[in-house]
Amino acid sequence: MITELGHFALILAFLVACVQAVVPLIGAHKRWPGWMAVAEPAATAQFFLTAFAFGALMHAFITSDFSLKLVVENSHSAKPMLYKISGTWGNHEGSMLLWVLILALFGAMAAWFGGNLPPTLRARVLAVQSSIALAFFAFILFTSNPFLRLVVPPFDGQDLNPLLQDPGLAFHPPFLYLGYVGLSICFSFAVAALIEGRVDAAWARWVRPWTLAAWIFLTIGIALGSWWAYYELGWGGFWFWDPVENASFMPWLLAAALLHSAIVVEKREALKSWTILLAILAFGFSLIGTFIVRSGLLTSVHAFANDPERGVFILMILVFFTGGALTLFAARAGAMQAKGVFGVVSRESALVANNILLAVAAFVIFVGTMWPLVAEMFFDRKLSVGAPFFNMAFTPFMMLLGLILPVGAMMAWKRGRVTRTLQTLMPAFVLAVLLAGLVWTMQTGRSLMGPIGVFLGVWLVAGTVTDFLSRLGKSRDFSRLFRLPRADWGKLLAHSGLGITMLGIAGLTAWQEEDIRVAQIGETFSVGQYELQLLNVEQIRGPNYFSTMGTVRLSESGHDIALLHPEKRNYPVAQMPTTEAAIDYRFMRDVYVVIGDPQDNGGYVMRTYIKPLANWVWGGCLIMALGGALSLSDRRYRIAAGARKTVQPQGVPAE
Amino acid sequence: MRALLLVLMLAGSASALTGAFAGAAWAVQPDEVLEDPALEARARELSKGLRCLVCQNESIDESNASLARDLRILLRDRLMAGDSDEEAVAFIVDRYGEFVLLQPTTGGWNWLLWAAGPLMLLAAVAAGALYIRGRSTSTTEREEGLSPAEQKRLEEILKE
* pLDDT tens track for A247-305: 899 999 999 999 999 988 888 888 888 999 999 999 999 998 888 877 766 655 454 54
Same domain as A172, residue A316 = yes
Same domain as A424, residue A287 = no
Q: Is residue A622 included in any domain, yes or no?
A: no
CA A476 from centroid of its chain's CA atoms: 39
Same domain as B24, residue B87 = yes
Q: Note the pLDDT tens digit of each residue in A321-330.
A: 999 999 999 9
The answer to whether B16 faces chain A, any CB pair under 8 Å, is no
The DSSP code for A650 is: P
pLDDT exceeds 60 at position A640: no
Kindly write down the DSSP assignment for every residue of A391-417, as one continuous string. Answer: HHHHHHHHHHHHHHHHHHHHSPSSS--
CB-CB neighbors (< 8 A) of B139 in chain A: 341
Q: Are B18 and A577 in contact (CB under 8 A)?
A: yes
pLDDT exceeds 80 at position A642: no
Same domain as B8, residue B76 = yes
The answer to whether B101 faces chain A, any CB pair under 8 Å, is yes
d(CA A401, CA A409): 11
| Domain termination residue (choose one: B77, B100, B123) | B100
Q: Is residue B64 included in any domain, yes or no?
A: yes
Q: What is the 3-state secondary structure (H, E, C) of B120-159?
A: HHHHHHHHHHHHHHHHHHCCCCCCCCCCHHHHHHHHHHHH
β pairing state of A589-598 and A604-612: antiparallel
Q: Is residue A645 included in any domain, yes or no?
A: no
Instruction: Write down the mean pLDDT value for chain A.
Output: 88
Provide mean pLDDT across the span A302-315: 69
pLDDT exceeds 90 at position A629: yes
Percent of chain A surpassing pLDDT 70: 95
Same domain as B92, residue B15 = yes
Same domain as A565, residue A606 = yes
CB-CB neighbors (< 8 A) of B14 in chain A: 575
pLDDT exceeds 60 at position B44: yes
Provide mean pLDDT across the span A487-508: 93
Selection from A68-72, B53-57, B147-151 with the highest mean pLDDT: A68-72
Domain holding A336, by residue range, is: 166-370
Percent of chain A surpassing pLDDT 90: 49
Lowest mean pLDDT among A139-153, A474-488, A614-628, B85-99: A474-488
* Number of domains comprising chain A: 4
C-alpha distance from residue A428 to each of A121, A421, A424 (Å): 45, 12, 8
* Number of domains comprising chain B: 2
Q: Is residue B9 included in any domain, yes or no?
A: yes
The answer to whether B159 faces chain A, any CB pair under 8 Å, is no
- What pLDDT score does A646 carry? 42
Contact flag B30-A516 (C-beta cutoff 8 Å): yes
Percent of chain B surpassing pLDDT 70: 78
Provide mean pLDDT across the span A414-431: 88
| Domain termination residue (choose one: B100, B132, B148) | B100
Q: Note the pLDDT tens digit of each residue in A79-99.
A: 888 889 988 988 888 989 999
Contact flag B27-A339 (C-beta cutoff 8 Å): no
Name the residue facing A339 among B14, B136, B143 (closest C-beta): B143
Give the confidence band of A173 by pLDDT, cuts at 50, 70, 90. confident
Q: Nearest-CA neighbor of A406 among A391, A427, A392?
A: A427
Q: Is residue A408 included in any domain, yes or no?
A: yes
Which residues is A562 bridged to in the sheet? A554
d(CA B131, CA A7): 52
Contact flag B26-A652 (C-beta cutoff 8 Å): no
Same domain as B93, residue B122 = no
- What pLDDT score does A299 carry? 55
Same domain as B96, residue B114 = no
Same domain as B120, residue B96 = no
Q: Are A208 and A191 in contact (CB under 8 A)?
A: no
The stretches of chain B forming alpha helices (DSSP H) are: 2-21, 37-48, 66-80, 85-96, 110-137, 148-159
Q: Is residue B133 included in any domain, yes or no?
A: yes
Q: Is residue B42 included in any domain, yes or no?
A: yes
Same domain as A299, residue A178 = yes
Q: Nearest-CA neighbor of B76 among B32, B19, B135?
A: B32
Contact flag A607-B98 (C-beta cutoff 8 Å): no
Domain holding B13, by residue range, is: 2-100
Same domain as B129, residue B62 = no
Contact flag B27-A348 (C-beta cutoff 8 Å): no
Query: ipTM > 0.90?
Result: no
Contact flag B120-A360 (C-beta cutoff 8 Å): yes
Contact flag B30-A517 (C-beta cutoff 8 Å): yes
CA A25 from centroid of its chain's CA atoms: 31
| Domain termination residue (choose one: B78, B100, B122) | B100
Same domain as A523, residue A478 = no
Contact flag B11-A575 (C-beta cutoff 8 Å): yes
Give the confidence band of A639 by pLDDT, cuts at 50, 70, 90. low
Name the residue facing A301 among B29, B57, B110 (closest C-beta): B57
Provide mean pLDDT across the span B109-119: 92
Same domain as A497, residue A519 = no
Same domain as B145, residue B68 = no
pLDDT exceeds 60 at position A198: yes
pLDDT exceeds 50 at position B18: no
Same domain as A100, residue A51 = yes
- What pLDDT score does A396 carry? 93
Same domain as B94, residue B116 = no
Name the residue facing A364 among B33, B48, B116 (closest C-beta): B116
Q: Are B101 and B93 in contact (CB under 8 A)?
A: yes
d(CA A155, CA A138): 32
Q: Is residue B105 included in any domain, yes or no?
A: no
Contact flag B135-A356 (C-beta cutoff 8 Å): no
Min Cα distance B158 → chain A (Å) is 11
Same domain as A442, residue A316 = no
pLDDT exceeds 70 at position B80: yes
| Domain termination residue (choose one: A457, A482, A511) | A511
Same domain as B122, residue B70 = no
Same domain as A170, residue A158 = no
pTM of the entire predicted model: 0.88
Min Cα distance A556 → chain B (Å) is 24
Contact flag B128-A240 (C-beta cutoff 8 Å): no
The answer to whether B153 faces chain A, any CB pair under 8 Å, is yes
- Strand, helix or coil for residue A648: coil
Q: Is residue A420 included in any domain, yes or no?
A: yes
Task: Answer with the residue of higher pLDDT: A305 or B21.
Answer: A305
| Domain termination residue (choose one: A468, A490, A511) | A511
The answer to whether B99 faces chain A, any CB pair under 8 Å, is yes
Nearest CA in chain A to B135: A341
Same domain as B125, residue B89 = no
Q: Note the pLDDT tens digit of each residue in A526-583.
A: 998 899 999 999 999 988 889 999 999 999 988 999 999 999 888 888 777 888 889 9
Same domain as A156, residue A173 = no
Same domain as B148, residue B89 = no
Name the residue facing A367 among B59, B116, B139 (closest C-beta): B116
Burial class (CB in 10 A: 0-12, 13-18, 19+), B8: exposed
Helix orientation angle between A167-196 and A243-268, rounded to the nearest 10 degrees = 40
Same domain as A548, residue A443 = no
Give the confidence band of A10 by pLDDT, cuts at 50, 70, 90. very high
Nearest CA in chain A to B132: A344
- Strand, helix or coil for residue A132: helix
Same domain as A330, residue A186 = yes
CB-CB neighbors (< 8 A) of A385 in chain B: 102, 104, 113
Task: Answer with the residue of higher pLDDT: A206 or A219.
Answer: A219
Q: Are A314 and A290 in contact (CB under 8 A)?
A: yes
CB-CB neighbors (< 8 A) of A654 in chain B: 149
Amino acid symbol at A590: D
Sequence-separated (6 or more) residues with CB below 8 Å from residue A396: B117
Interface of B with A in 33-92 (CB under 8 A): 33, 48-49, 51, 56-59, 62, 64
pLDDT exceeds 50 at position A647: no
| Domain termination residue (choose one: A132, A148, A163) | A163
Q: Is residue A64 included in any domain, yes or no?
A: yes
Q: Note the pLDDT tens digit of each residue in A34-79.
A: 999 999 999 999 999 999 999 999 999 999 989 998 998 888 888 8
